[in-house]
Amino acid sequence: MNQLIEISPEVSKALAEHRPVVALESTIISHGMSYPQNVETACRVEQTVRQNGAVPATIAILGGRLKVGLTDSEIDYLGRQGRRVAKVSRRDMPVVLSRHQDGATTVASTMIIAHLAGIKVFATGGIGGVHRGAETTMDISADLEELAQTPVMVVCAGPKAILDLGLTLEYLETKGVPVIGYGTDTLPAFYSRTSAYKVDYRLDTPQDIAGAFAAARDLNFRTGMLVANPVPEEYAMPEQEINAAIEKALQEVQNQSIKGKEITPFLLSKIVSLTDGKSLETNIRLVLNNAALAARIAACL
């Protein structure tokens, strides 16, 4: 693996000393928002991890190398390149690596690389899942399959609200992935704090969540764990407002025949436009909130 993976000195030292480390994805930098806000947000997320007692490890593929812990200049490079950088999930990794290309990592590929590096906790915005209409399109995110087979904890604000939340939970149940609500009995819906669905278990402290994850490791389970952390109340969007924007955005997807991994970036961008930027501010705040919780859980582990 040494020829493929490059861990920054700071992250490597923290891992060797058994200090808490939190993995962070890079798709949010290259595909999540425009420059320079993407870079500013990525730096704020790293700072939040540090403020809560852990070392941040932003992950990407650069020049065909799995990079764990990016420099400021590398984050800026990804931000400036934007969507010119490939969006890389599990299926894309072999080709991107063999061609010595750059890639922004999704939830799935970030989990893979974090696990290879020995990082147990990963903070993101929201996970992918079962898309609406998947009973005919079979459009299901690789994030779910990765949670089923890679033992990394993913701290998020729930599945992205553009998805079919009920079917996403059913898929995770089938794969044996526990969905933990942090201080909540109901599944957060990314932009909103609640939904019509229940989580598997409610745990109210980082210590309790760390204990459950440690127990899964003691059992030698190979599955991950999903921690659903509601967006802070002051930044949450009313369900009716955001659902109306989602329905309009989904109609545009159909009208323009957008498919595959381009659906999510398009929908999120369209929703930002339809909500006059309010959804973007919510997105940023929930990522920061997740980074803080992930750091506290990692410290407990």
Catalytic center residues: 25, 160
- Cα atoms in the 13 Å half-sphere on the side-chain side of 287: 28
Closest CA to 223 of 170, 153, 149, 154: 149
Quick one: CA dihedral 98, 99, 104, 107, positive or negative? negative
Q: How far apart are CA 18 and CA 65, in angstroms?
A: 24
Cβ-in-10-Å burial (0-12, 13-18, 19+) of 17 comes to exposed
Q: How far apart are CA 288 and CA 290, in angstroms?
A: 5
Q: How far apart are CA 299 and CA 42, in angstroms?
A: 21
Closest CA to 179 of 157, 162, 163, 164: 157
| 155 bridge partner residues | 123, 227
Q: How far apart are CA 258 and CA 266, in angstroms?
A: 8
In single-letter form, the type of residue at position 168 comes to T
Hunting for tokens 């929201």 — which residue is that? 126
